[in-house]
Amino acid sequence: MSTITTEQVEARVVDALASFGPDKSQIARSSTFEELDIDSLDLVELAQIVEDEYGVVLKGEDMKGLQTVGDAIDLIAGRAS
């Protein structure tokens, strides 16, 4: 399996989050999930997308403490590498 870069994870996470409602242009690393109106169920869905894509298993509990888009990207990229 090839190496997954943080940029690739970022692009995938932004796409996934945009599919939950917020406009893509609003989504930055510093955006909080609260600002984007992304709820706990959205994060569980994001975890499923990440699992299907990268084989990284993230539990709802892992996602619970995440505040910003950057937090999620770093967690996923960290686990994927």
Which CB, 23 or 52, lies closer to other proteins? 52
- The answer to whether the Cα torsion of 22, 27, 23, 5 is positive or negative is negative
- Residue 57 interacts with other proteins (CB under 8 A): yes or no: no
Q: Which helix H or strand E contains 62, and what residues bound it? A: helix 60-64
- Residue 32 interacts with other proteins (CB under 8 A): yes or no: no
- Residue 48 interacts with other proteins (CB under 8 A): yes or no: yes
- The answer to whether the Cα torsion of 76, 72, 47, 58 is positive or negative is positive
Q: Are 64 and 40 in contact (CB under 8 A)?
A: yes
Considering 15, 23, 37, 39, which one is annotated as catalytic?
39
Per CB under 8 A, the segment of 3-11, 29-37, 38-46, 65-73 that binds other proteins is: 38-46
Q: Are 53 and 15 in contact (CB under 8 A)?
A: no
- Residue 74 interacts with other proteins (CB under 8 A): yes or no: no
Show which residues are catalytic.
Answer: 39
| Interface contacts to other proteins, rule CB under 8 A | 39, 41, 44-45, 48
